[in-house]
Amino acid sequence: MATEVKLPRLGQGMESGTIVKWLKSEGEQVQKGDALYELDTDKVTQEVEAEASGVLLKIAVPEGEVEVGRTIAFIGSEGETVADSPVADSAVADSPDGHSAREPAPAVAQKAADVPAAAATNGASQGRVAEVEPGGRIKASPLARRIARERGIELSGVRGTGPDGRIVAEDVERGDAQPATAAPAAVGAPSGEVESRPLTSIRRTIARRLTEAWTVPAFQLTVDADMTRANELVAGQRELNPDVRVTVTDLLTKICAHALMRHRDMNVQYSEDALLVFPSAHVGIAVATPQGLVVPVVHGAERLSMAQIASVRGDLVSRARDGKLRSEDLAGGTFTISNLGMYDVDQFVAVLNPPQASILAVGATRDQVVPRSVGSQREIARDFARPGGELHVLPVMTMTLTCDHRAVDGATGADFLRTIKAFLEDPGLAL
C-alpha cells in the first residue's frame, strides 16, 4: 500500500502552502529524509523532507497552493499503482482482494464535479474542501457538526485536517473566521488592461493579519526627537565597527528594547484570558521585500550591543530579501519598528502587527528650525534657567506609536514614548 504524502502543517496557524517545485520526479527512488519538494508558506520557503522511503509513484499536485493535510504525492514500492484522483482514492475503500474498486460512487463524482473554478482553472488546487464519503456524507466530528449547526456554516465548505480529512472543531472555527469567499475567479477573468495577479500566500497573510489588526481599538501618539546625539553615536559606532554597517534603525532597536524593559507594561500582548507580559524584548523590524512585507525579529535585543544588533539585522534583512527566512526568524516578536525614513516620509501611522500591542512608525530625520523648547532635554533645562533664547536648527525625527488600547492605556504609551525620546536625545541614558 502506497504512503500518501500530505501537506504538513509547519507552524502554528499554517493553513496552506504553495508547492514551488518538486525536487524528485515520478519514478525516482526516495529515501526517508531526502528533500522532496520546495514549499512556500505564508512565512518562508523551505525544502520538505520525505517521511517514507520507496519510489515516488505519483505527484498529485505538481505545483501551486494546497491546503494543509491534502495528499500531494504517493510513495510506494516499484510497480505499484495509485489512483488518478485523490478524491476518488480516499473516498473509495480498497476491496479485500487487493484490487482497488476505483470507480467512484455517483455521489462522489457529482461532488467532485461540483467543486468549482479552482479545479478547472488551476490544476494544482483541486479544491477538495471536505472529505466526502460514498453517499455524499461529510466526515466531521460531532462537536464540529454542532458548531457548524449553531453558526449556520455549511460543512461542505470547510476543509478537514483531522484523521482521513475529518472536519474537527478547529477547522469549523477557522472557516468561520474566514467565510468561504476565497474562490478567486482570477485566472478566467477578462484581462483587458487590468492585470490580475493571483494572490501569493504572503499577500494573503498580510491581508488577513492587517484586517485582523483593523478590528483592534488602537490609538496613536506622535513625538519629535532631536537626533543630534543619536546621529553622533551612529557615526561613532560605524568608525568603531567598520565591518558592520550600524544604522539609525539599529540604535532605535536597542533603545526601544531598553525602553520596553523599563516599561514592562508595554512589552505585552492582549489575549482572551490574560494580558501576557514578556520577559524579554523581541523587536521586529518591518522589511520590504519583492514578495511583500515581512517582519523578522531581533530576539532579546536588550541584551545585544548595537554592533550585534546591526549584524543580526543585516543578516535578517538580506535573507528576507532573498526569501530565505526561517519560521523562527519571524516568530515571537513583542514590538515592531517600521522605519520609512529612507523613503523621505516625514511621518506616518503604522497598522498594528497582531498580536503585538504596539508598533513604532519612524519618519525621516530633517533639519528643522525649532524654538528651544523642542530641543533636547538638557537644552530645555538650560533654557528654563535662561529664558528668552533663540531659534535652533536641529535634526529632528518624528515618530508615531500605535498602541492596542485593549492592552495599553494612553498614559502608559505616552510614558514609554517619552523614554524613547529621552534615550534618542541622550543615548547615554539608556545605559
Partner 1 sequence: MPELSYREAVRDALSQAMRQDDDVFIMGEDIAEMGGSMGVTHGMLDEFGPERVRNIPISEMALAGAAIGAAVQGMRPVAEIMYEDFMTLAAEQVVNQAAKHRYMSGGQIKVPVVFRTQGGAGWSPGAQHAQQLEAWFVHIPGLKVVFASTPEDVRGLLWSSIYDDNPVVFFEHRTLYGIKGEVPEKIEPIPIGKARVHREGEDVTVIATGRMVHESLAAAVEAEKEGISVEVVDPRTLQPLDEETLVASVKKTNRAVVAHEAVTRMGFGAEVAAVLQYQAFDWLDAPIERVGSRFTPLPFAPIMESYVIPHMETVLEAIYRTVNKKV
Q: Which residues 343-372 are close enough to bind partner 1 by CB under 8 A?
A: none
Size of the site for partner 1 (CB under 8 A): 11
266, 416 Cβ separation under 8 angstroms: yes
User: Which residues are CB-contacts of 259 (< 8 A; sequence separation ≥ 6)?
Assistant: 266, 416, 419, 420, 423, 430
Distance CA 176, CA 186 (A): 23
Respond yes or no: is residue 99 known to be catalytic: no
| Interaction pattern, residues 162-201, with partner 1; x per rule: CB under 8 A | xx----xx--------------------------------
Q: Which is nearer to partner 1, 143 or 240 (CB)?
A: 143
| Per-position DSSP letters for 260-278, written without gaps between them | HHH-GGGSEEE-SS-EEE-
Catalytic residue among 258, 282, 392, 405: 405
Give the three cell numbers for residue 226. 532631536
Distance CA 59, CA 82 (A): 10
* 171 burial level (CB within 10 Å; 0-12, 13-18, 19+): buried
Considering only 143, 180, 275, 369, the residue that binds partner 1 (CB under 8 A) is: 143
Q: By CB under 8 A, is residue 157 in contact with partner 1?
A: no
368, 396 Cβ separation under 8 angstroms: yes
Q: To which H or E segment does residue 145 belong?
A: helix 142-151
Least Å distance between CB 173 and partner 1? Answer: 11
Least Å distance between CB 40 and partner 1? Answer: 23
Considering only 3, 20, 38, 145, the residue that binds partner 1 (CB under 8 A) is: 145
CA 75 to chain centre: 31
Q: Which residues 383-422 are close enough to bind partner 1 by CB under 8 A?
A: none
Least Å distance between CB 72 and partner 1? Answer: 16
Which is nearest to 266 in space by CA: 281, 255, 254, 252? 281
Considering only 32, 146, 264, 378, the residue that binds partner 1 (CB under 8 A) is: 146
Q: Which is nearer to partner 1, 137 or 146 (CB)?
A: 146
Binding segment toward partner 1, per CB under 8 A, in 35-43, 124-132, 142-150, 278-286: 142-150
Q: Which is nearer to partner 1, 160 or 284 (CB)?
A: 160
Contacts with partner 1 by CB under 8 A lie at 141-146, 161-163, 168-169
Residues with catalytic function? 405
